Amino acid sequence: MNIHHLELFYYVAKHGGVSAAARHIPYGIQQPAISSQIIQLEDSLGVALFQRRPFELTAEGRELQAFIEPFFSGLPALSDKLRGGKEVRLRIGAPSSIQANYLPSILKKMRKRFTQLEFSMVTGWQGEFEELLLAGEIDVAVSNVFGKAPPGIKRQEVLALPMALLVRDQSRWKNAEQILKQDRMEEPLICVDAVDALCRGFQEELERRKITWVPSLELGTLDLVACYVAQGFGIGLVVDQPNHTPPPGTRRLRLEGFPPSCYAAMWLGKRSSLVDTFLEESAHVLAELRKALG
């Protein structure tokens, strides 16, 4: 039997499925790769180890889990002991824009203090990160936030970015107010998922102003929003990021009078030393952004 296949099965059995296992495995591996290697393990043994839908271990799967569980469950403690008790693994949740623009510099600074630092990242939005924190599947998240945090989850605001509309260069619009004064919105609204804090804050302010402009196109990332605006598919809802130039052929119109999109770090319970360091280094990086915002 392949020891790596057994490790993957351990996580699948422990967390009740392939998708949950992918979130807990402390290194990057996608669900299809896990499924493929589990099938190889089953083929080598000549038995099915679990039922897929709904998930349930077979008798053979339960027997194998009982045999390998003491070994794999004991590895984290042994690893900590060999490292002298130092915590060096951080599980982070963040939208793709945060992962691309801010986390690399934060993690580089952390590695100067924790030379053996290991980290994993998951992409999502506020509600998903809150669920992952409550389930103990991530240690910290950085995301734009809306409303109150669920009981037990702590927040620390790290940045507030103005909302903006993204239009094509040749558009007739000079400022965002011109767009919002229309009797009827002429162009489609392009945004990220409507449940995202940015969209919810924008729609709440529109409702307060008695303006109706529902999203026509919801996309996965702000970069995709910008891409579709540049191609002429509508007006995009974005944030006015300093030191981040809009794509060629587009320009940003700041939404004056709208509340900023607030970004916060989130964690559950008492902060670990790694989470403390992450927040500290985040503050240093984001202080430079605040200067750029004026």
CATH assignment at residue 25? 1.10.10.10
**Per-residue model confidence (pLDDT) at position 217:** 95
Same domain, 48 and 177: no
Question: Would you say residue 270 lies in a domain?
Answer: yes
Same domain, 150 and 267: yes
Cα–Cα distance list, 242 to 32, 101, 157, 166, 239 (Å): 38, 11, 18, 15, 9
Contacts 24+ apart (CB under 8 A), 34-43: 34/8, 37/2, 37/4, 37/5, 37/8, 38/5, 38/8, 38/9, 38/12, 40/2, 40/5, 41/1, 41/2, 41/5, 41/6, 41/8, 41/9
Same domain, 65 and 144: no
φ and ψ at residue 246, rounded to 5 degrees:
-60, 160
**Per-residue model confidence (pLDDT) at position 259:** 93
Residue 186 domain boundaries:
163-259
**Per-residue model confidence (pLDDT) at position 42:** 93
Same domain, 216 and 241: yes
**Per-residue model confidence (pLDDT) at position 237:** 97
Same domain, 206 and 146: no
| Residues whose CB falls within 8 Å of the CB of residue 174, separated by 6 or more in sequence, listed in order | 253
Six-digit token string for 56: 């349930």
Listed as ranges, residues in the chain with pLDDT below 50 are none
31-52 pLDDT tens trace: 888 999 999 999 999 999 999 8
Same domain, 174 and 243: yes
Same domain, 39 and 184: no
User: How far apart, in whole angstroms, are the C-alpha atoms of residue 13 and residue 31?
Assistant: 14
Q: State the amino acid at position 58 in one-letter form.
A: T
Same domain, 254 and 266: no
Question: Would you say residue 83 lies in a domain?
Answer: no
- DSSP single-letter state for residue 247: P
**Per-residue model confidence (pLDDT) at position 24:** 78
Same domain, 217 and 171: yes
Question: Would you say residue 114 lies in a domain?
Answer: yes
Question: Would you say residue 82 lies in a domain?
Answer: no
**Per-residue model confidence (pLDDT) at position 82:** 65
Same domain, 17 and 68: yes
Question: Would you say residue 100 lies in a domain?
Answer: yes
Same domain, 288 and 171: no
Question: Would you say residue 84 lies in a domain?
Answer: no
pTM of the model: 0.67
- DSSP single-letter state for residue 181: T
Give the closest residue to 258 by CA, choosing from 214, 216, 204.
Answer: 204
Question: Would you say residue 209 lies in a domain?
Answer: yes
Give the closest residue to 275 by CA, choosing from 122, 107, 118, 90.
Answer: 90
Same domain, 171 and 243: yes
**Domain CATH for 129:** 3.40.190.10
Based on the structure, what is the number of domains in the chain?
A: 3
Q: Which runs of consecutive H residues, i.e. helices, occur in the chain?
A: 3-15, 18-24, 31-45, 59-82, 96-101, 103-113, 126-134, 176-180, 197-208, 222-230, 273-293
Question: Would you say residue 34 lies in a domain?
Answer: yes
